[in-house]
Amino acid sequence: MHIVLPDQDFSDLLGVHASALFEMVGQPQCGRLYLVPGVEGVAQAVFVIDASRRDAARFGALATGLPAGDWKLAIAAEALTLCPEIAHDATLGFCMGAYRFALGRETVFPTRLVLTEDARAVVPMAQAIWLGRDLINQPANLLGPEELAQEAADVVSAQGAACEIVSGESLVSAYPCLAAVGAGSDRPAQVVKAIWRGSRAPHDAPLLSLVGKGVCFDTGGYDIKPASGMLRMKKDMGGAALMLALAHVIMAQDLPIRLELRLGCVENSISGHAMRPGDILTTRAGMTVEVGNTDAEGRLVLSDLLTEACEQQPDWLLDAATLTGAARVALGPDLPALFSNDPQLAQLLLNAGAVVGDAMWQLPLWHGYDAWLCRKNAHLGNVTDKPMAGAITAALFLQHFVEPTVKWAHIDTYAWNDSSIPGRPEGGETLALRALVEATLRMINEKAGSQ
């Protein structure tokens, strides 16, 4: 399996069969996979790329385009010079493209990539992507709050984290706003809390805190969604899946930091116990929130978790949620919206995404819209009366529960591929995961350099 540049003369490298092939097809095109015939069938394959930019997902075409059998990478020297990480990206992209969600049956994949010892470093990332996709793709009848919480607990416990699942009266007391969201469901809400420290991390190592929205199904509550709006609501726990996937990579790579993970696992349903429009809820922080729309439940779930996370004064606080349709209107399905109260943290995240080809796009925490959240009978409303800037006002709501001294970033993600493209099959997706891992490495290096 040769990876080459479009303007490269590689006929000597591949032999007479490749020369004849490219005489027939003309100038090789970027992103195309060419199969080179041999005496007994396909002898070699050539994948043509633009090596001036990184994008692991494009290598997913190898998993779907190569014939069955074992394949080894052979990367042209010119491509390696332009992109030293290309072997890493190609291996990870193959794994991304090979993913299949097959509920209740095991799929044997006939096309295999033989890994070098160096390439094995991508395994934790590949595992995390598959983990996140599997969780998001699970139907809601099989993945409720209890199942999501237990799955998360199993993942982090296997990596040596101390984990607690909070439920019942303890949950109502510690997370009253989150509990109100889950009160309408027969499947009780649960919160996963995990603490971990790398084997090379001292007791005062930098602390990274992760918070994820885990709404396993969102009917919209009494402000019920239309049928078309509910079709993909099993993915409303995509923020929790993303944060769990990130935690898995951090722990599997044994990064020298302290880590805390909080996932709010709930279901937003309709019943006599469900919250109503006009209800006033009290949060963990003591602020009151008037429910203007029961379908804006994700920010209520996150509010208590962010408050608790800030009590530990983390060096960095990241949260992720499938929070608003407004973010999708602004940026489409592939670009998660990024909000941050710290310009340096925001730029670090954006730069990391640009480097690894897993982009986010920053939207402002525009203070001019903060007054839109004010209410006469409560400190805040969970929605505004304005039909505009929905993603920004949702992020501004969350900011009220973040200590100003804590460096915080909020990621509003879609968590889904609407159609299949190389490396990104239709279904659940861990958008921004590769960017967040790269950013975590950079945060650690920055912190070490400043000490």
Q: What is the mean pLDDT of residues 2-6?
A: 80
- Residue 20's pLDDT is 57
Amino acid 32: pLDDT: 86
Three-state SS annotation for 48-79: ECCCCCCCHHHHHHHHHHCCCEEECCEECHHH
Least confident of 72-76, 202-206, 321-325, 437-441: 72-76
Bridge partner list, 2: 46, 74
**pLDDT of 18 above 60:** no
What per-residue confidence (pLDDT) applies to 426?
Answer: 97
Is pLDDT larger for residue 47 or for residue 116?
A: 47
pLDDT tens digits, 270-311: 999 999 999 999 999 999 999 999 999 999 999 999 999 999
Return the closest-CA partner of residue 190 out of 218, 210, 170. Answer: 170
pLDDT tens-digit map of 334-355? 999 999 999 999 999 999 999 9
Specify the pLDDT at position 118. Answer: 78
Residue 398 in this model has a pLDDT that exceeds 70:
yes
Q: What is the pLDDT of residue 3?
A: 84
The widest CA-to-CA distance across the chain, in whole angstroms, is 80
Label residue 387 exposed, middle or buried (CB < 10 Å: 0-12, 13-18, 19+): exposed
Whether the pLDDT of residue 5 is over 90: the answer is no
Percent of the chain with pLDDT strictly greater than 90 = 80
Grade residue 390 by pLDDT with cuts at 50, 70 and 90: very high
Does residue 267 have a pLDDT over 60? yes
Tokens at 360, concatenated: 């986010």
- Confidence bin at 437 (pLDDT 50/70/90): very high
pLDDT band at 327 (very low <50, low <70, confident <90, very high): very high
Residue range 15-28: mean pLDDT, rounded: 58
User: What's the pLDDT at 36?
Assistant: 81
> For the chain, give me the number of helices (H) and strands (E)?
16, 19
Q: What integer is the mean pLDDT of 60-86?
A: 90
Q: In a 3-state reduction of DSSP, which class is residue 400? A: coil
C-alpha–C-alpha distance, residues 378 and 425, integer Å:
44
Check pLDDT > 90 for residue 103.
no
Are 264 and 178 in contact by the 8 Å Cβ rule? The answer is yes
Please tell me which residue in 58, 197, 262, 299 is annotated as part of the active site: 299
b vs e for 65-78, b when ≥16 Cβ sit within 10 Å of the residue's Cβ?
A: bbeeeebebebbee
Residue 6 has pLDDT above 90, yes or no: no
Q: What pLDDT was estimated at residue 22?
A: 59
pLDDT of residue 77: 84
Give the whole-angstrom CA distance, residue 139 versus residue 103: 10
Phi, psi torsion values for 237, nearest 5 degrees = -100, 15
* pLDDT reading at 12 higher than 70: no
Q: What is the reported pLDDT for 349? A: 98
Torsion sign over Cα 86, 122, 414, 298: negative
Please report which confidence band the pLDDT of residue 24 belongs to, taking 50, 70 and 90 as the band edges. low
Q: Is the pLDDT of residue 450 over 60?
A: yes
Give the whole-angstrom CA distance, residue 382 versus residue 349: 27
Look at 26 and 305; give whichever has higher pLDDT: 305
Instruction: Answer yes or no: 53 catalytic.
Output: no
The dihedrals phi and psi of 27, each to the nearest 5 degrees, come to -60, 125
> Tens digit of pLDDT for each residue in 133-159?
999 999 999 999 999 999 999 999 999
Helix residue ranges, H only, 194-342 = 227-230, 238-252, 298-310, 325-331
Average pLDDT of the residues in 229-243: 97
Cβ 84 vs Cβ 71: under 8 Å? no
Rounded mean pLDDT, 42-52: 86
DSSP H/E element including 424: none
What per-residue confidence (pLDDT) applies to 244?
98
SS3 content of the chain, % helix, strand, coil (to 5): 40, 20, 40
Q: In this predicted model, what pLDDT tens digit does every residue of 159-177 receive, in sequence order?
A: 999 999 999 999 999 999 9
Q: Residue 162 and residue 127: Cα distance in Å, rounded?
A: 21
Strand duo 207-218 + 316-321: pairing: parallel
- At 90 the pLDDT is 93
Q: What is the mean pLDDT of the chain?
A: 93
**Short-list 291, 261, 60, 278, CA closest to 163:** 261
User: What does the alpha-carbon distance between residue 253 and residue 247 come to, in Å, rounded to a whole number?
Assistant: 10
User: What is the average pLDDT across 362-371?
Assistant: 98
Instruction: Tell me what pLDDT residue 105 has.
Output: 72
What is the model's pLDDT at position 444? Answer: 94
Where helices occur in 272-429 by DSSP H, the ranges are 298-310, 325-331, 343-356, 390-399
Catalytic residue among 54, 112, 225, 447: 225
Residue 25: predicted pLDDT: 57
As a whole number of Å, the CA-based R_g of the chain is: 23
Measure the CA–CA gap between 279 and 275, rounded to whole angstroms: 7
Indicate if 225 belongs to the active site: yes
pLDDT at 425 over 80: yes
